[in-house]
Amino acid sequence: MTTTARPPADLGTAEIAQKKWAKWQLYLGFVGFFLGLLMGLLQALDRMGFYLYKEAQLSSYYQGLTLHGVSMVFILTFAFGNAFLTLGVMRSLERPMASTMLVAASFWSAAIGVALAAWAILANQATVLYTMYSPLRPHVAFYVGAVLLVVSTWIVLLNQLLTLRAWRKDHPGEPIPLLAFVSVITYIMWFIASLGVAIEVLVFLIPWSLGLVENTDPLLNRTLFWFTGHPIVYFWLLPAYVSWYITVPKMVGGRLYSDGVVKGVFILFLLFSTPVGLHHQFTDPGVEEGLKLLHMLFTFAVFFPSLVTAFTLMAALEDGAKRNGGRGLVAWIKQLPWGNPSVVAQLFAMLGFVLGGVSGLINASATVNLVVHNTSFIPGHFHLTVGTAVALTIMGASYWLVPYLTGKKLCCRRLAVAQSWLWFGGVMLFSRGLMAAGIEGQPRRVPVGLMAYAEESWKLWDIVTGIGGTLMVTSGTIFFIVILGTLLRKKGSAGAVEFPIADTVYGPEQSPAILDRIGLWTAVSVVLILIAYVPVFISHAYNFTSPGFVRW
Amino acid sequence: MATLKIEKWERWFLYASVVVLVGFLVAILASIGEAGIHLPTDEGSLDPNTVAETPPFDNPGLRQTGDGTYEAVMVARTWQFTTGETDADGIPTITVPAGSTVTFIVTSGDVIHGLYIPRTDVNAMIIPGRVTKISQRFDEPGEYTFLCHEFCGLANEQIGHHSMYGKVVVQP
Ligand code: HEM
Ligand SMILES: [Cu+2]
Ligand SMILES: [Cu+2]
């Protein structure tokens, strides 16, 4: 965190207003995180034999789990992405967003969406889990809430594109600055991906939940859901990648090697994130095996940019550590700034992602998937990815973003550093327990305290899971203490905090110009999606025969 | 024109990445082609509202189809499987001799369910309007729990998704 930025007095009124809305968007994410943590605690306690849902005034484990999933992966992640990658574009292009009204609109759309969805869930009108598989039929407010959350992200993209266009007019022929490029690519990828769930909800589910049409096609809805449901994981992950690529090297005093490689990585995500959804439907009836294998092929392609990332980031970290006097093959790791809470959180996030990525390869391997599909191995996997790689990055980034947005100095730095260690230790136990029990056959989405067929071999692992989960919740609570402590400080105590941006050894001028052809890459991505999905929607046996069920 | 700047070691790392990914891919395809482990595929559709009148689901139960091969026709509904057979506690069962290959043929009469037998390859979704078909050979005598592993709602703490299961009884 350097302190050489322009003093706030230099900011234009548009920029000040926009940063304010971005700040509220971030706080909205924190609200989601808080709700998710509370439910996480109940889930961890259930693993240890305490089923406390009545005491918590909730109707069932599943109601809590719906709230947990929605809060963590729709509210926290969306709001963080919206805030961070709006600020990123502003910082990178050195101008305010094209429209302050759109920045505000994105916040309001998300906030109203959260209110509607939260009402539906808490009123026990929408116990359908975050996957909302029809023909379970929630209150329409749940669907509308989900749509508004997605709309908030579309508004961000629109604003990013308008801003980029204005910048290009002022800078003809110049390469797009890296941070703006990766921010926009992330949102374009997500926009295309989100069309699946948008069609599912707007065209099929909302009319059906209002009784305008009587029946729906559950398999079609599932296919549309997973059209969005895989790329959504990249929508959660890419803001974290942006943070790792752009801000972390700066904070450790290192440089990125090549601007072009990073652009290439994000282009690969744009191309391959979406045409892979059937890997979530390996076990579905009604979908041809051959098509599932085609999607598996593309799935393996999308691992590639993450492997590049592993190398590039490690190189940037080593560069930083060695410039600070580190040496040796691995001893340089000690030279990283282990006292900087922002850095430490993200180092652990990266480490978690290595394990999460490996377990993801297991899930993606069609036949091996038969061993783990819908077992507790799966939540074991994704608490390493979204639950740690992304969540811990959001916490780490917040440790400079909150001072950046409020001018208040981060409080309790040592506590904040300890918080990351605790989370990582917690998730190691938590995910280990879930994965081991899953391989022993324990299904996911079942309250351990109620299940009628519990096996002896799961019990020890459930306790390990429960202990690990409790440590994570404790860590999350410490995060909130640090943030609240910060907000209670005096304005201006932080001095001027800058948005950290890493230097590159080979800058944008040395990158091939074709990388900047965003329109071209978007077109290629659409072609790949057509290849992957036209056969799916042609061979689909349309079967609108399912009425809605409210079974909770 | 500028070319992509890739560091020497990075280049080797990228080659290695490609080799590893392709290796995995080949191994998986071999497990399908050579070892014959298959995923559920398209087996046609039906009307979930009239499952009780639609063959073969109008008559759930176990049928022998050959020497050591069986078909188990089942219907999943909240919150039980109908297999045509139950044990003394009312738990649905499927009883076969050791060494049998059972083809499960399953559909749902209401919401999405799952069919999962821990420590076997039986792991499939049951979707209303579709037919799930999946085969498994049972060599070791004993009881195998089959359970619903997709959230399908609940009535109360005793009855719901968490109580939806049955047993394959493999007799010596
Ligand atoms: C803070 C500590 C946390 C604890 C103790 C916790 C606990 C759990 C448990 C035990 C499950 C499995 C429930 C089941 O399958 O029956 C679960 C599911 C889930 N968790 Fe967490 N979790 C935590 C944090 C997070 C975070 C940070 C995220 C994402 C950012 C997250 C996202 C999810 C999602 C998406 C599910 C799946 C819900 C579903 O199956 O519908 N969790 N969590
Ligand atoms: Cu996926
Ligand atoms: Cu079920």
Examine residue B155 and state whether it is found in any structural domain, yes or no. yes
Residues B86 and B152 in one domain: yes
Q: Do the domain assignments include residue A4? A: no
Residues of chain B with C-beta less than 8 angstroms from the C-beta of A512:
1-4
B20 in the same domain as B77: no
Question: Which segments of A488-548 does DSSP mark as H helices, in order?
Answer: 518-539
Q: A50: domain CATH number? A: 1.20.210.10
Reported for A295-300, long-range contacts at CB under 8 A and 24+ positions apart, including other chains, are A295/A532, A296/A364, A296/A365, A296/A366, A296/B25, A296/B28, A297/B25, A298/A272, A298/A528, A298/A532, A299/A230, A299/A364, A300/A364, A300/B21, A300/B22, A300/B24, A300/B25
Residue B77 pairs in a beta bridge with B80
Nearest CA, atom 1, ligand 1:
A473
Tell me: pLDDT of A6 over 50.
no
Cα A480 to Cα A416: distance, rounded to the nearest angstrom: 10
| pLDDT at position A8 over 60 | no
Residues with CB under 6 A from ligand 1: A 36-37, 40, 43-44, 65, 68-69, 72-73, 76, 129-130, 376, 379, 383, 386-387, 390-391, 444-446, 469, 472-473, 476
Same domain, B54 and B138: yes
Percentage of residues in chain A having pLDDT higher than 90: 84
* A348, part of any domain: yes
Give the closest ligand to the alpha carbon of residue B79: 3
Find chain A residues with C-beta within 8 A of B111's C-beta. 133, 135-136, 218, 549, 551
Query: CB of A332 within 8 A of CB of A321?
Result: yes
pLDDT at A357 over 80: yes
Partner-chain residue, chosen from A60, A289, A365, that has the shortest CB–CB distance to B41 = A289
Name the helix (H) or strand (E) containing A504.
strand A504-506
How many beta carbons lie within 10 A of that of residue B47, not counting itself? 14
Mean of pLDDT values over A372-390: 97
**A261 found inside a domain:** yes
Instruction: Give B76→chain A minimum CA distance, Å.
Output: 14
- If you average pLDDT over residues B155-163, what whole number do you get? 95
Which helix (H) or strand (E) segment holds residue A82: the answer is helix A77-93
Please give the residue that has the higher pLDDT: either A70 or A513: A70
Which chain B residue has its CA at the smallest distance from A222's CA?
Answer: B127
A2 pLDDT higher than 60: no
Cβ(A96)–Cβ(A187) below 8 Å: no
pLDDT digits (tens, 9 = 90+) for B52-91: 999 999 999 999 999 999 999 999 999 999 999 999 999 9
- The answer to whether residues A378 and A444 touch, using CB atoms and an 8 Å cutoff, is yes
Give domain status of residue B52, yes or no.
yes
B138 within some domain: yes
Q: Is residue B42 in some structural domain?
A: no
The rounded percent of chain B whose pLDDT value lies above 90 is: 80
Residue B11's pLDDT band (cuts 50, 70, 90): confident
What pLDDT, in 10s, does the model give residues A108-163?
999 999 999 999 999 999 999 999 999 999 999 999 999 999 999 999 999 999 99
Residue B3's pLDDT is: 66
Q: What is the number of residues in chain B?
A: 172
Of A241, A243, A295, nearest in space to A273 by CA: A295
Ligand showing the shortest atom-to-Cα distance for residue A369: 2
- Separation between Cα atoms, residue A346 and residue A188, nearest integer Å: 25
Residue whose tokens read 């968490």 = B162
* Closest approach of B40 to chain A, Cα-based (Å): 5
Q: Give the pairing of strands B69-77 and B93-97.
A: unpaired
Nearest-angstrom CA–CA distance, A97 and A86: 8
User: Do residues B19 and B66 share a domain?
Assistant: no
Whether the per-residue pLDDT at A3 is higher than 50: the answer is no
A 10 A CB-CB count for A355 gives: 20
Best CA proximity match to A223, nearest among A550, A540, A475: A540
CB contact under 8 A, B149 and A443: yes
> Do B21 and B61 share a domain, yes or no?
no
First and final C-alpha spacing in chain A: 49
Could you tell which of A34, A42, A43 is best to mutate to test the pocket of ligand 1, judged by most ligand atoms within 8 Å of the CB? A43
The answer as to whether A546 is a domain residue is: no
Percent of chain B with pLDDT over 70: 97
| pLDDT band of A510, cuts 50, 70, 90 | confident
Q: Where does the pLDDT of residue B34 fall: very low under 50, low under 70, confident under 90, or very high at 90 and above?
A: confident
Q: Does residue B102 sit within a domain?
A: yes
Cis peptide before B56 (omega within 30 of 0): yes
B154·A312 Cβ contact <8 A: no
Residues B87 and B158 reside in one and the same domain: yes
- Partners of residue A218 in chain B, C-beta under 8 Å: 111-112, 127-129
CB contact under 8 A, B129 and A296: no
pLDDT for A9: 45
Q: What is the residue-averaged pLDDT of chain A?
A: 94
User: What is the position in ligand 1's atom list of the atom closest to the CA of A46?
Assistant: 10
**What is the pLDDT averaged over residues A185-194?**
98
Give strand pairing partners of B154: B160
Nearest atom of ligand 1 to the alpha carbon of A77: 30
Q: Which atom of ligand 1 is nearest to the CA of A446?
A: 16
Residue A151's H or E segment, with its range, is helix A140-170
Structural domain including A522 reads 13-539
Say how far apart CA A543 and CA A547 lie, in whole Å. 12
Nearest-neighbour CA in chain B from A337: distance (Å): 25
Residues on chain A touching B162 (C-beta within 8 angstroms): 446-447, 450-452
> Distance, CA A489 to ligand 2 centroid (Å)?
42
CB B114, CB B81: distance < 8 Å = no
* Cα–Cα distance measured from residue A349 to residue A496, given in angstroms and rounded to the nearest whole number: 27
Asked if A525 contacts A189 with a C-beta cutoff of 8 angstroms, the reply is: yes
Contact B76, B116 (CB under 8 A): no
Q: Is residue B167 part of a domain?
A: yes
Q: Is the pTM of this model over 0.90?
A: yes
Q: pLDDT category, B35, cuts 50, 70, 90?
A: confident
Give the pLDDT score at A419: 98
Q: How far apart are CA A282 and CA A371, in angstroms?
A: 12
- For A120-152, b/e burial (b = at least 16 CB within 10 A) is bbbeebbbbbbbbbbbbbbbbbbbbbbbbbbbb
What is the distance, to the nearest Å, from the Cα of residue B110 to the centroid of all Cα atoms in its chain?
Answer: 18
Same domain for B25 and B53? no
Q: Token pair 């699946």 is at which residue?
A: A196
A311 located within any domain: yes
Q: Within a domain: residue A212?
A: yes
- Strands B93-97 and B123-126, sheet pairing: unpaired
In a domain, A451, yes or no: yes
The 10s digit of each residue's pLDDT in B110-150 is: 999 999 999 999 999 999 999 999 999 999 999 999 999 99
pLDDT tens for A45-56 read 999 999 999 999
One domain, residues B27 and B100: no
- Say whether both B59 and B134 belong to one domain: yes
Residues linked to residue A163 through DSSP beta bridges, in sequence order? none
pLDDT in tens, A441-490: 999 999 998 999 999 999 999 999 999 999 999 999 999 999 999 999 98
Separation in Å, CA of A382 to nearest CA in chain B: 17
| Angle CA A130–A131–A134, to nearest 5 | 125
Nearest CA to ligand 1 atom 28: A387
Chain A residues with beta carbon closer than 8 angstroms to that of B29: 293
Dist. CA B78 → ligand 3 center (Å) = 6
Percent of chain A having pLDDT more than 70? 98
Range of the domain at B78: 48-171
Helices (H), A365-487: 366-372, 377-382, 391-406, 413-439, 456-487
SS3 B80: strand
pLDDT tens track for A397-425:
999 999 999 999 999 999 999 999 999 99
Both B55 and B27 in one domain: the answer is no
Q: What is the ipTM of this complex?
A: 0.94
Pairing of the two strands B142-147 and B165-171 = antiparallel
CA separation, residue A378 to residues A233, A302, A406, A431, A432 (Å): 14, 19, 38, 9, 11
CA angle A375, B109, B88 (to 5 degrees): 75
Which residues of A carry out catalysis? 230, 234, 381-383, 444-445
Burial, B67: exposed, middle or buried (Cβ in 10 Å; 0-12, 13-18, 19+)?
Answer: exposed
Q: Are residues B23 and B86 in the same domain?
A: no
Per-residue confidence (pLDDT) for residue A5, from 0 to 100: 43
Looking up tokens 């799916």 gives A536
Give the alpha-carbon dihedral of A144, A145, A151, A152, to 10 degrees: 160
Total structural domains in chain A?
A: 1
What is the three-class DSSP state of B40? coil
Which of A65, A280, A383, A444 has most ligand 1 atoms within 8 Å of CB, for mutation?
A: A383
pLDDT tens digit string along A79-97?
999 999 999 999 999 999 9
First-residue to last-residue Cα distance in chain B: 74
| Residue A1 clears pLDDT 80, i.e. is over it | no
Do B28 and B64 lie in one domain? The reply is: no
**Is A8 within a domain?**
no
Tell me how far the alpha carbon of residue A430 lies from the centroid of ligand 1, in angstroms: 10
Residue A289, H or E segment:
helix A289-323
Q: What's the CATH code of the domain at B93?
A: 2.60.40.420
Beta-carbon separation of B5 and A510 below 8 A: yes
Inter-chain residue contact A286 with B127, CB threshold 8 Å: yes
* C-alpha torsion sign, points A296, A297, A302, A307: positive
Give the Å distances, CA to CA, from B88 to B31, B84, B94: 40, 14, 13
**Count of the separate structural domains present in chain B:** 2
* Closest Cα in chain B, distance from residue A207 (Å): 19
Q: Which atom of ligand 1 is found nearest the CA of A476? A: 1
Which residue's CA lies nearest to atom 29 of ligand 1? A387
In a domain, B43, yes or no: no
SS3 B87: coil
Put simply, the answer to whether B116 touches A217 (Cβ < 8 Å) is: no
pLDDT at A377 over 60: yes
Cβ pair A136:B111 closer than 8 A: yes
Give the number of C-alpha atoms closer than 13 A to the C-alpha of residue A228, restricted to the C-beta side: 23
> Across residues A326-345, what is the average pLDDT?
93
